[in-house]
């Protein structure tokens, strides 16, 4: 840096251009106010999540993305020293480095493909530009596009699993009830916990206890006391889980582990917080306690909650005049069609997403 300063001074002297000011840009009131705000935000962020959890893998502090043993960017200095030591005493033309000896970052893992057992970082924009420059005619371009230019069928798969299907289109295969169904007599409501989690809008700067109370208030005002809320579970062996692909999709929007309790003030959006499975488990436990305190029946399945939701509705069908299953998953309708066809008092009303409680 000292040498650069001398060069800058000589250029100013040669051009006869020189400007000095006693007021530094960082001493202005606007910059000081902004710095104070940034420090407050950073301090508040560090007070909520644990940016340095005790784990044995490399993790992005902000996004929470976790990768395997192939990431070695934390050893970049040692890798660099080893490469320099291998160069000592050799001619430049004889210096060669192996691909496996390079530094691997989180970003390169997320944007790489395997070709002949080698992981190669691919930038789609650079690939497109090189193809466009390399082509001599439209016939060359046709020859390029004879190849899929993808390591897997992109119409069926993503880089990790099968593409998420649009299950809601299956609704068109069912004929809705044409007559107006007005529940009379006793009524029981079975609520899908996953649907409930995303039904309430979380207000910023509210405590988690206040957010849980809003769920209780929403259920009491909407459905009364004869209700059951059923959450899905988190199996220990998630690699064999039917929800494994869905969890992989959520990992693309991962967030850090956040240690919170009833008095903790919300600093994240609901979507970002619940994208982390540990945070979701923690919030479901907090919400279950709030619901049980309000004498609301709460259950949690071992894994997929859909069979338990349907079986719960069937089990109370003989005790109530009207049983309603509340949720958005088309799997509920499929299971009800197969298992509850003999119960004419069990209904599955279609829920509109715009009806979120604020």
- Tens-place pLDDT, residues 322-349: 999 999 888 888 899 889 888 888 988 8
Instruction: Determine what percent of the chain falls in helix, strand and coil, rounding each to the nearest 5.
Output: 45, 10, 40
Q: How far apart are CA 268 and CA 275, in angstroms?
A: 11
Please check the confidence at residue 122 and state whether its pLDDT lies above 90. no
- Nearest Cα to Cα of residue 301 among 193, 144, 201: 193
Query: pLDDT value at position 264?
Result: 85
**What average pLDDT does the segment 5-19 reach?**
82
Please check the confidence at residue 354 and state whether its pLDDT lies above 50. no
Please check the confidence at residue 25 and state whether its pLDDT lies above 50. yes
**What average pLDDT does the segment 94-114 reach?**
72
Task: Retrieve residue 320's tokens.
Answer: 């109530």
Q: Where are the beta strands (DSSP E) in 72-133?
A: 112-115, 118-121
Which of 64-78, 161-175, 178-192, 302-316 reaches the highest mean pLDDT? 302-316
Decide which of 265 and 161 is more confident: 265
Q: How far apart are CA 243 and CA 348, in angstroms?
A: 23
Task: Retrieve residue 330's tokens.
Answer: 């088309």
CATH classification code of 185-347: 3.40.50.1010
Q: How far apart are CA 283 and CA 212, in angstroms?
A: 9
Decide which of 320 and 259 is more confident: 320
Task: Retrieve residue 60's tokens.
Answer: 């992005």
Q: How many CB atoms lie within 10 A of CB 260?
A: 21
Please check the confidence at residue 141 and state whether its pLDDT lies above 90. no
Task: Retrieve residue 78's tokens.
Answer: 């040692």
- The confidence band for 304, taking pLDDT boundaries of 50, 70 and 90, is confident
**What average pLDDT does the segment 11-39 reach?**
81
Asked which of 110-124, 186-200, 225-239, 335-349 is least confident by mean pLDDT, the reply is 110-124
Task: Retrieve residue 243's tokens.
Answer: 């929800």
**What average pLDDT does the segment 39-43 reach?**
85
Query: pLDDT value at position 60?
Result: 67
**What average pLDDT does the segment 252-274 reach?**
77
Decide which of 108 and 39 is more confident: 39
Asked if 211 contacts 202 with a C-beta cutoff of 8 angstroms, the reply is yes
Please check the confidence at residue 96 and state whether its pLDDT lies above 50. yes
Q: How far apart are CA 211 and CA 201, in angstroms?
A: 9
Tell me the domain boundaries of the chain.
185-347
Q: How far apart are CA 226 and CA 128, in angstroms?
A: 59
Decide which of 21 and 4 is more confident: 4
pLDDT tens by residue, 200-231: 999 888 899 999 999 999 999 999 889 999 99
| Burial status of residue 353 (CB atoms within 10 A of its CB: 0-12, 13-18, 19 or more) | exposed
């Amino acid at each position: 840096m000292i040498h650069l300063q001398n060069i800058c001074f000589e250029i100013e002297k040669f051009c006869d251009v020189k400007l000095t000011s006693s007021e530094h840009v960082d001493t202005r009131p606007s910059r000081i106010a902004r710095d104070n705000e940034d420090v407050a935000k950073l301090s508040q962020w560090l007070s909520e999540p644990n940016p340095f959890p005790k784990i044995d893998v490399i993790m992005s502090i902000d996004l929470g993305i976790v990768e395997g043993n192939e990431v070695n960017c934390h050893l970049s200095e040692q890798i660099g020293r080893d490469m320099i030591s291998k160069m000592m005493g050799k001619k430049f033309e004889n210096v060669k480095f192996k691909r496996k000896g390079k530094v691997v970052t989180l970003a390169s893992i997320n944007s790489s493909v395997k070709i002949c057992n080698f992981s190669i970082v691919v930038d789609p924009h650079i690939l497109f530009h090189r193809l466009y420059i390399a082509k001599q005619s439209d016939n060359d371009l046709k020859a390029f596009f004879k190849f899929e230019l993808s390591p897997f069928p992109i119409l069926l798969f993503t880089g990790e699993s099968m593409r998420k299907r649009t299950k809601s289109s299956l609704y068109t295969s069912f004929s809705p009830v044409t007559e107006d169904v007005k529940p009379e007599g006793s009524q029981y409501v079975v609520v899908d916990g996953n649907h409930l989690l995303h039904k309430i809008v979380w207000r910023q700067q509210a405590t988690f206890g206040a957010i849980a109370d809003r769920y209780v208030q929403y259920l009491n005002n909407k459905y009364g006391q004869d209700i059951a809320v059923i959450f899905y579970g988190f199996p220990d062996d998630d690699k064999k889980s039917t929800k494994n692909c869905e969890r992989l999709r959520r990992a693309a929007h991962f967030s850090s582990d956040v240690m919170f309790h009833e008095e903790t003030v919300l600093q994240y959006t609901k979507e970002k917080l619940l994208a982390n499975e540990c945070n979701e488990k923690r919030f479901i436990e907090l919400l279950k306690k709030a619901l049980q305190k309000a004498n609301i029946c709460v259950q949690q399945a071992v894994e997929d909650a859909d069979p338990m939701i349907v079986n719960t509705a069937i089990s109370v069908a003989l005790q109530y005049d009207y049983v309603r299953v509340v949720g958005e998953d088309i799997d509920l309708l499929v299971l009800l069609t197969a298992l509850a066809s003999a119960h004419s008092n069990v209904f599955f009303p279609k829920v509109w997403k715009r009806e979120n409680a604020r």
